[in-house]
Amino acid sequence: MADVETNDQPTARFGGFGPGATRYYEELAANNTREWFHANRRWYEDDVRAPLEHLLADLAGEFGEGKVFRPNRDTRFSKDKSPYKTAAAAVIERAGDGAHSLYLQLSADGLMVAGGAYMLPSDLLARMRAAIDDDRAGPELERIVAHLRERGATAGAHDELKTAPRGYPKDHPRIELLRWKGVIAWFDHPPGPWLSTGEARDRVVEGWRAIAPLNAWLDTNVRPGGRAG
DSSP state of 49: I
Residue 214: predicted pLDDT: 97
Evaluate whether residue 125 is within a structural domain.
yes
The count of structural domains within the chain is 1
Phi, psi dihedral angles at 104 (to 5 degrees): -145, 135
DSSP state of 169: -
Residue 125: predicted pLDDT: 96
Residue 6: predicted pLDDT: 45
Rounding to the nearest 10 degrees, give the CA dihedral for residues 91, 94, 220, 217. -10
Evaluate whether residue 227 is within a structural domain.
no
Give CA separation, 68 vs 5, 8, 49, 124, 215, in Å: 6, 11, 8, 25, 20
Residue 218: predicted pLDDT: 95
Residue 134: predicted pLDDT: 98
Residue 198: predicted pLDDT: 96
Residue 7: predicted pLDDT: 46
Residue 97: predicted pLDDT: 61
Residue-by-residue pLDDT tens, the chain, 229 positions: 345 454 444 445 899 999 999 999 999 999 999 999 999 999 999 999 999 999 999 999 999 999 999 999 998 888 889 999 999 999 998 755 667 999 999 999 999 999 999 989 999 999 999 999 999 999 999 999 999 999 999 999 999 999 999 999 999 999 999 999 999 999 999 999 999 999 999 999 999 999 999 999 999 999 876 665 4
Residue 194: predicted pLDDT: 98
Residue range(s) defining the domain that contains residue 138: 4-221
Give CA separation, 18 vs 32, 87, 146, 190, 226, in Å: 20, 14, 35, 16, 41
Identify the CATH number of the domain in which residue 141 sits. 3.30.930.20
Quote the CA–CA distance of 110 and 151 in Å, as a whole number.
19
Give CA separation, 15 vs 42, 97, 113, 203, in Å: 18, 33, 17, 13
This model's pTM is above 0.95 = no
Evaluate whether residue 229 is within a structural domain.
no
Residue 98: predicted pLDDT: 65
